Amino acid sequence: MYNKGTIIPGLIIFVLLITFPLWFNAFSKASTAPKIELPPGGQKECVKPAAEMRAQHMVLLNEWRDDVLRNGNRVAVTAGGKEYRKGLQTACMACHTNKEKFCDSCHTYTSVKPYCWDCHLTPSVAAAKKETN
């Protein structure tokens, strides 16, 4: 083989680099799965079963978005006998008031970065702006 001196080390470096995620994970502390808590307000029921919400909440949110903005279908949704206006701020966050626990813990864990909060307001953000002014 020609240029054995450069090819073999080169190959080794290449293999090390592309397997970086594997051995990086092997040597670093295993991250812990987020702990699930019920919302603080005592509400036990969601608009859909928990399993469905966990898997497909973005589907529902997109449906609501199109219903409210485009289809003029703002019919309220009910959960546990209470009515909620369709919307992230008006429905979801009404119970799940803590965005850090409810959204971020899982999103961080799965490394998902939704842009909801670029526009939508978390209860804490909205409250903070109320007090200071």
Partner 1 sequence: MDMQRRNFLKIAGVTALAGISAPVVVNLTSSALASSDQGQTAVAHPAPSGAHGEDAPQGVRLGLLIDMRKLYGHPELLDKATAACHKVHNVPKIDNKKSEIKWIWKTPFANAFTDQSNNHASKTARENDFLVLCNHCDEPPCVRVCPTKATFKDKKTGIVAMDYHRCIGCRFCMMGCPYGARSFNWMDPQPFIKELNPNFPARMRGVVEKCNFCGERLVLGKEPACVEALKEVGAIVFGDLNDPQSEIRRILDKEHTIQRQAALGTKPSVFYIV
Binding site for partner 1 (CB under 8 A): 65, 69-70, 72-75, 85, 88-90, 115, 118-121, 123, 125-127, 129-130, 133
**CB nearer partner 1, residue 45 or residue 66:** 66
For 81-101, give the DSSP string.
TEEE-SSIIIIIHHH---HII
**CB nearer partner 1, residue 34 or residue 121:** 121
Radius of gyration of the CA atoms of the chain, in A: 23
Q: CB 65 → partner 1: shortest distance, Å?
A: 6
Could you tell me if 105 and 34 are in contact, meaning their C-beta atoms sit under 8 angstroms apart? yes
Could you tell me if 40 and 98 are in contact, meaning their C-beta atoms sit under 8 angstroms apart? yes
Kind plus residue range of the DSSP H or E element containing 22: helix 20-27
Whether the CA torsion 66, 68, 69, 71 is positive or negative: it is positive
Q: CB 46 → partner 1: shortest distance, Å?
A: 20
Q: CB 48 → partner 1: shortest distance, Å?
A: 20
**CB nearer partner 1, residue 55 or residue 69:** 69
Q: CB 94 → partner 1: shortest distance, Å?
A: 10
**CB nearer partner 1, residue 37 or residue 66:** 66
